[in-house]
């Protein structure tokens, strides 16, 4: 091979790699319609139409349908109806998420999503609902358009977790140790971690200056001081935290286990720890990775959202039929 043909083959392969992204696995594209009205004591499909296309696959392992906004635990349920021999559904009451588990073809998943219905046991359900339909493992939060994933890695240090998160990608999106800038995002990630998980915050550079040091927010200070300190943007500390205890202090933040939440703090509240974590409920279990918002990320459409509005419906019954009328 002469230099000229070597040059062209390198350019060709670089170009091919750029066009096709990382490896051969291209993301599916999901779109859905369905902005419907819910009548109490009825059930209603969560979509009117659904389309899942994929340039290089015909099957996938799972589709997740989550009540991503307005979920009322103990009242709301998503149910798969109809006959879907290659798909089993499981309902996670904590996360408000119905998993449709295959493997099955996209066509089969489309049919299953079309026959997934929302219902509420409340005679007068309140508020609206938003549903997110996602192909893939990490959960999607419509308000940030980002994906979140807890990675189990017992014993991992914060600094190792930071590197490990940055080494992960999801359909070409750059991973980073999670940055939590709203209560919704903090609650969402807290529910996923369901225990201990490192997050992208530290005050190692200057004691008491708590900053996000990962992701699009890298460098942003969100808290000044200890537990009686000042919230500058958003913080979600556990009661009495951060306290920087011990001879060497505590400079790395994590989502605390539910068993140590105190002082009225929400599940998923944060604590500061040394780089290697602590013992018992403070022993490191892993970390939470966020995907989205980084420079150079590809544009993905692997989730779609639909919504459900509440209506005042009255029920008309005659001798033959019962039907519901939307009253608005
Ligand atoms: Ca974030
Ligand atoms: Ca500290
Ligand atoms: Ca602490």
Q: What is the largest CA-CA distance in the chain?
A: 89
| Residue 11, domain member (yes or no) | no
Residue found under tokens 């490191």: 284
Q: Residue 193 Cα, ligand 2 centroid: separation in angstroms?
A: 23
Q: How confident is the model at residue 312 (pLDDT cuts 50, 70, 90)?
A: low
Q: Does residue 231 share a domain with residue 158?
A: yes
| Residue 162, domain member (yes or no) | yes
CB of 135 closer than 8 Å to CB of 264: no
pTM to 2 decimal places? 0.64
Q: Does residue 219 share a domain with residue 95?
A: no
Query: Which residues fall within 8 angstroms of residue 294, CB to CB, at 6 or more apart?
Result: 173, 174, 176, 215, 216
Q: What are phi and psi of 159, to 5 degrees?
A: -65, -35
Residue 138 pLDDT > 60, yes or no?
no
Q: How confident is the model at residue 62 (pLDDT cuts 50, 70, 90)?
A: confident
CA-to-CA dists, residue 299 to 50, 51, 155, 293, angstroms: 20, 18, 34, 10
* Number of domains the chain contains: 2
Residue 147 pLDDT > 50, yes or no?
yes
| Residue 268, domain member (yes or no) | yes
Distance (Å, whole) CA 303 – CA 79: 19
Pick from 9, 301, 312: nearest CA to 142: 301
Q: What pLDDT score does 220 carry?
A: 98
Q: Does residue 163 share a domain with residue 54?
A: no
Q: What is the dihedral of CA 55, 56, 58, 64, to 10 degrees?
A: -70
Q: Does residue 43 share a domain with residue 62?
A: yes
**Ligand nearest 238 Cα, by number?**
3
Mean pLDDT computed over 97-107:
93
Of 41-45, 222-226, 257-261, the poorest mean pLDDT is in: 41-45
Q: Residue 266 Cα, ligand 1 centroid: separation in angstroms?
A: 18
Q: Does residue 200 share a domain with residue 95?
A: no
Q: Does residue 82 share a domain with residue 120?
A: yes
| Residue 142, domain member (yes or no) | no
**Ligand nearest 210 Cα, by number?**
2
- Report every protein residue that has its C-beta within 5 angstroms of ion ligand 1: 179
Per DSSP bridges, beta strands 197-202 and 209-212 are: antiparallel
Q: How far is CA 310 from the centre of its chain?
A: 25
Residue found under tokens 């039907």: 323
Pick the residue with more confidence: 155 or 195? Answer: 155
Q: What pLDDT score does 20 carry?
A: 39
Q: What pLDDT score does 279 carry?
A: 96
Q: Residue 206 Cα, ligand 2 centroid: separation in angstroms?
A: 8
The H or E element spanning position 148 is strand 146-152
Q: Residue 215 Cα, ligand 2 centroid: separation in angstroms?
A: 21
Q: Residue 155 Cα, ligand 2 centroid: separation in angstroms?
A: 20
**Ligand nearest 288 Cα, by number?**
1
Q: Does residue 268 share a domain with residue 158?
A: yes
**Which residues pair with residue 197 across a beta bridge?**
255
Q: Does residue 164 share a domain with residue 226?
A: yes
| Residue 173, domain member (yes or no) | yes
Q: What pLDDT score does 317 carry?
A: 52
Q: Residue 229 Cα, ligand 3 centroid: separation in angstroms?
A: 14
The H or E element spanning position 212 is strand 209-212
Pick from 199, 231, 234: nearest CA to 214: 199
Distance (Å, whole) CA 28 – CA 34: 20
Q: Does residue 251 share a domain with residue 183?
A: yes
Average of per-residue pLDDT values in the chain = 87
For 268-304, write each residue's pLDDT tens digit. Answer: 999 999 999 999 999 999 999 999 999 999 988 878 9
The H or E element spanning position 255 is strand 252-255
Pick from 138, 136, 141, 148: nearest CA to 302: 136
CATH of the domain at 232: 3.10.100.10
CA-to-CA dists, residue 222 to 152, 163, 165, 218, 269, angstroms: 27, 22, 21, 11, 15
**Structural domain of 155:** 148-291
Q: Does residue 258 share a domain with residue 203?
A: yes
| Residue 175, domain member (yes or no) | yes
Q: Does residue 180 share a domain with residue 102?
A: no
Per DSSP bridges, beta strands 116-120 and 129-135 are: unpaired
- Counting residues of the chain whose pLDDT is more than 70, the rounded percentage is 85
Q: Does residue 277 share a domain with residue 253?
A: yes
């Amino acid at each position: 091979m002469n230099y000229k043909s070597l040059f062209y083959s390198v350019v060709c392969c670089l170009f091919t790699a750029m066009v096709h992204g990382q490896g051969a696995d291209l993301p599916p594209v999901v779109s859905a319609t369905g902005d419907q009205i819910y009548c109490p004591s009825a059930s209603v499909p969560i979509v009117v139409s659904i389309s899942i296309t994929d340039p290089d696959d015909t099957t996938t392992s799972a589709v997740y349908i989550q009540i991503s906004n307005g979920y009322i635990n103990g009242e709301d349920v998503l149910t798969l109806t109809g006959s879907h021999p290659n798909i089993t559904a499981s309902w996670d009451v904590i996360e408000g998420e119905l998993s449709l588990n295959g493997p099955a073809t996209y066509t089969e998943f489309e049919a299953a999503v079309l026959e997934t219905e929302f219902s509420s046991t409340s005679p007068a359900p309140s508020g609206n609902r938003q549903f997110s339909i996602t192909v893939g493992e990490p959960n999607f939060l419509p308000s940030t358009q980002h994906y979140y994933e807890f990675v189990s890695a017992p014993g991992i240090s914060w600094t190792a977790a930071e590197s490990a998160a940055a080494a992960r990608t999801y359909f070409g999106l750059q991973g980073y140790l999670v940055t939590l800038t709203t209560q919704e995002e903090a609650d969402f990630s807290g529910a996923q971690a369901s225990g201990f998980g490192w997050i992208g915050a530290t005050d190692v550079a200057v004691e008491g200056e708590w900053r996000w040091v990962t992701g699009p927010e890298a460098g942003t200070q969100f808290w000044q001081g200890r537990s009686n300190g000042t919230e500058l943007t958003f913080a979600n500390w556990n009661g009495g935290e951060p306290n920087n205890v011990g001879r060497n202090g505590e400079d790395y933040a994590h989502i605390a286990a539910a068993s140590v939440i105190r002082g009225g703090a929400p599940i998923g509240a944060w604590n500061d720890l040394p780089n290697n974590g602590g013992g018992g409920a403070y022993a490191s279990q892993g970390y939470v990775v966020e995907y989205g918002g980084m420079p150079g990320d590809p544009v993905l459409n692997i989730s779609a959202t639909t919504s459900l509005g509440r209506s005042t419906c009255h029920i008309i019954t005659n001798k033959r039929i019962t039907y519901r009328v939307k009253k608005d």
